[in-house]
Amino acid sequence: MKTVSLASFDNRWYHPGSRSKRSSWYLISMVFFMSGVPYPNRLKTFLLRLFGAQVGRGVHIKPRVNIKYPWFLIIGDFTWIGESVWIDNLATVQIGSNVCLSQGAYLCTGNHDYTKTAFDLILEPITIEDGVWIGARAVIGPNVTLGNHSVVTAGSVITKNTEPYMIYQGYPAVAVKKRTIA
């Protein structure tokens, strides 16, 4: 029976940006995003745009937010990113308008192929459509689209696409009821 050999892992094919670009972003991110200091949203959105993110109007970003690579990030208008959100975007993360990412939510675009000896890296995007609410400490996996105005409750884990206007709960998350907006 074959076994995993992490010594044979090779992701040299993956080029997320130059070393200087990644290093510069890391330093900026440590000071202005991952810090507990509540820097102004205008400054944060300016810095994201400077590093290649597409950011809409009225975006609010709380302290202690970790964004891996802003050049793989698209955010619509009037979106809120809560404290300690981690956008682990090794691939593109597209966030619509009027989206709320609550405290500690984790968006993960990378995974590993556990069927391969070398534990190959797999990268797939995440798309979050308009009006979605992701609850505190929820996890969104790679290759997922969260449908328009769907809700992911606190602590839930999403591994498949969600339907518009549905509320998802659990691990793995399942639809529990329809979202009604008054």
Q: What's this model's pTM, rounded to 2 decimal places?
A: 0.96
Residues 69-78 have a mean pLDDT of 98
85 Cβ partners below 8 Å, 6+ apart?
62, 65, 66, 101, 102, 103, 104, 105, 106, 107
Q: Is residue 131 part of a domain?
A: yes
Asked if residue 24 belongs to a domain, the reply is yes
Q: How confident is the model at residue 148 (pLDDT cuts 50, 70, 90)?
A: very high
- Domain annotation covers residue 55: yes
pLDDT in tens, 157-179: 999 999 999 999 999 999 999 99
pLDDT at site 170: 98
Q: Residue 148 in contact with residue 129, Cβ under 8 Å?
A: yes
CATH number for position 114: 2.160.10.10
pLDDT of residue 135: 98
Structural domain containing residue 152:
18-178
Taking alpha carbons only, the member of 169, 165, 168 closest to residue 180 is 165
The span from the CA of 133 to the CA of 178, in Å, is 13
Q: What is the total count of domains within the chain?
A: 1
How far is 105 from 118, CA to CA, in rounded Å? 29
In this prediction, residues 127-153 reach a mean pLDDT of 98
Q: Is residue 38 part of a domain?
A: yes
